[in-house]
A = this chain, B = another copy of it.
Amino acid sequence: MPQAQPQFLNTLPHFQYFGEDALLICDLKLLKLIPDLQNWAAGFSAKYFVEAGEELKNLHQFPSHFEKILKVSQNLNPRNMVIVAMGGGSVGDFAGFLASVFKRGVRLIHIPTTWLAALDSSHGGKTALNVRHGKNQVGTFYPAEQTLLVKKILISQPASRAQEAAGELIKIALLSEDKWVSRFEKTLSITPEVLWKYLPPAIHEKLKIVAQDPFEKTNIRQTLNLGHTLGHVLETALKIPHGTAVAHGLKFSVHWSFKRRIMQQPAFTRAMNLIEKKTADPATLLSLRPSSQRFRSLLIHDKKKQAQDQFNFIFIRDFGKPLCALVTLDELLTEAHQQGFIKK
């Protein structure tokens, strides 16, 4: 399954670039945020606007979306049809899943419009919907044929969104041994310009990992889960942005790796320096920490759980050297307690 290399553009390509059989699936709120988007979208003969967010990924809503989309696309040639997915992570997950099951699969182009989607979710081919008791339990591996990263769109986001993406960019830096990381360590904070500059090496690093394990059959692709076990708990419990939660998760994983002597002092200092310099102050977090019971119940619903209350946890030996190991639920809870992530 080839992973398409991303394309970096200054502005949106003309709608004719996508051909006559394109269906645009677009986050509704972008119409207000991006000047001229309405005119651009008008060029598509088939389009479907959605409200971004987790509710878009609700499997129970999918049949109704599907029937409406079947109707708006009825004049497109299915063999040549391409879905152009424009939005953040939820739009990409929804439209990617749709493309993978629409008449047994149609072409797919992503145009991510948030930093998190541009950095992470629009690459690697994961698509997903949710059910009541499980996020991303429904899905496919279906890489886009192209991912277009458009500077004008990404840079136009509020500067605060850049800070929220810090976690994922730092994660991929921790997983990388390449030269770009030492340049990245020297920057002082995560700004839109910094994100745009480091998108190419960060995406390249992710795709290198994905290519070794495209269907997540070994533990290689799971190393991309670094910082996410705790991250997901905090994201849900504290309702904080995904990237911010991941940043806290990274700190947790690096600390635990050091305590278990998986990571040595110099790498630990370097990693903590990278994380702390580039993330916001965790003051809010400390006042809102979940109770032990809540923490436990959120962990149990984690999709990465293995049988018998065991988890695949991603530790880290050094930059570019993750280590996947089984830990028990109790070990995780004890460590989260000791590191102050659980209310006393």
Contact = CB atoms under 8 A, between A and B. Distances in A.
Contacts of A100: 140
A180 interface: no
Interface string A107-149: 0000000000000000000111001111001111100000000
A106 to B, nearest CB: 11
A63 B63 CA distance: 9
A60 interface: yes
A63 B66 contact: no
A238 interface: no
B59 A60 contact: no
A10 to B, nearest CB: 33
Contacts of A188: none
A137 B70 contact: yes
A215 interface: yes
A63 B59 contact: yes
A297 B147 CA distance: 40
A14 interface: no
B79 A138 contact: no
Nearest to A76: B307
Given A67-B133, A70-B133, A306-B77, A138 B102 contact: yes
A186 interface: no
Q: Which of A67, A141, A215, A217 has the most CB of B within 10 A?
A: A67
Nearest to A75: B307
B133 A215 contact: no
Interface string A209-224: 0000001110000000
A8 interface: no
Given A79-B217, A101-B140, A103-B138, 10 more contacts: A59-B62, A62-B63, A66-B131, A67-B133, A70-B134, A71-B133, A100-B140, A101-B139, A105-B141, A140-B140
29 contacts: A59-B62, A59-B63, A59-B66, A62-B63, A63-B131, A66-B131, A66-B137, A66-B138, A67-B131, A67-B132, A67-B133, A70-B131, A70-B134, A70-B137, A71-B133, A75-B307, A77-B306, A77-B307, A79-B217, A100-B140, A101-B139, A101-B140, A103-B303, A104-B126, A104-B140, A104-B141, A104-B215, A105-B140, A105-B215
